[in-house]
Amino acid sequence: MKWLSYLIWLLPISNLFAQTCGDGSAPVVQSAVIGGMKSWDAQGDSDNESILLCGFPANGNIIGGEHSGIDISPKFNSYCNEARFRLNNAVTLTPAVGENNTGPCINNYSGGGSSNLQDNGLVFQADGAGCVTIESFESYDDISNFVDADITAGVITLYACPEGVLLPIELKYFRAVPEDKTNNITWATSSELNTEWHIVERSATGTGNWEKMGQIEGAGTSNENHIY
């Protein structure tokens, strides 16, 4: 991997960055609609509902995950934050963090990022068929063998690189702050793999007509922090 391109929206404090996998390929992106699932019992219970999200490289590294538009409707005395999702029995997603109440929930939960799992040391693998199992479960089983919450809407999106291949950098932060008539752009990495340079581009729409703003020498291969 010889270069890394950061794509910047020309909007106040808005930013978007894109990476390729360490072998130069783009991460594989797949999404699952979870609206309609039900949250039954504790993790691993036979009553729980699961879906398969496939299309990833066989045994691929899941490097990032996002969720959007998740709505939860608790039943009985269940709390909003008890409805959770387990990804390949490796990582747990809790949409309603901190909502220790029986509802109505705040809802429309969104979060995550395209490399957040790698950045936080939470990478896990798809199975040999390139699939990830998403299990809906309750962190506390209020009433056994009964539905404790309905998942009425939402999407989970995962990003994957081929087996044994990760993103060429671990990004600690990326910031774009407007100053007078310019934008002050800074970012930091905690590791880099064969990165010769970083290229910064901008777009008035964020979707096309990208214009190169500058190019900065990368750190090559390094496990130290670097600020740009």
The full set of domains in the chain, from first to last, is 3-19+168-227 (no CATH), 28-161 (2.60.120)
How far apart are the C-alpha atoms of 118 and 166, rounded to whole Å? 8
Check residue 94 and give its pLDDT. Answer: 96
173 alpha carbon, distance to own chain's centre: 15
Query: What average pLDDT score do residues 69-97 get?
Result: 96
Q: Tell me how far apart the alpha carbons of residues 98 and 139 are, in angstroms, rounded to a whole number.
A: 13
16 has pLDDT over 50: no
The whole-angstrom separation of Cα 117 and Cα 91 is: 9
Strands (E) located in the chain: 3-9, 16-17, 28-33, 38-39, 50-53, 61-74, 83-87, 91-93, 109-113, 124-125, 132-138, 149-161, 169-179, 182-203, 211-222, 226-227
Measured CA to CA, the distance from residue 216 to residue 223 in angstroms comes to: 18
Q: Give residue 107's pLDDT band: very low, low, confident or very high (50, 70, 90).
A: very high
Q: Which of 62, 26, 78 is nearest to 158 (CA)?
A: 62
Q: What is the mean pLDDT of the chain?
A: 85
Q: Give the pTM.
A: 0.71
Determine which of 60-74, 84-98, 211-225 has the lowest per-residue pLDDT on average. 211-225
Residue 169 in contact with residue 195, Cβ under 8 Å?
Answer: yes
Q: In this predicted model, which residue has the larger pLDDT, 104 or 188?
A: 104
C-alpha dist (Å) from residue 85 to 28, 134, 171 = 21, 6, 26
**131 or 163, which is more confident:** 131
Mean pLDDT to the nearest integer, 114-123: 87
CA atoms of 209 and 75, how far apart (whole Å): 49
Q: Which residue has the tokens 């794509």?
A: 7
Q: Give yes or no for a contact between 52 and 133, defined as CB atoms under 8 angstroms apart.
A: yes
Residue 205 pLDDT more than 70? no
For the ranges 126-130, 168-172, 204-208, which has the lowest average pLDDT?
Answer: 204-208
Q: Which of 29-33, 59-63, 112-116, 182-186 has the lowest mean pLDDT?
A: 182-186
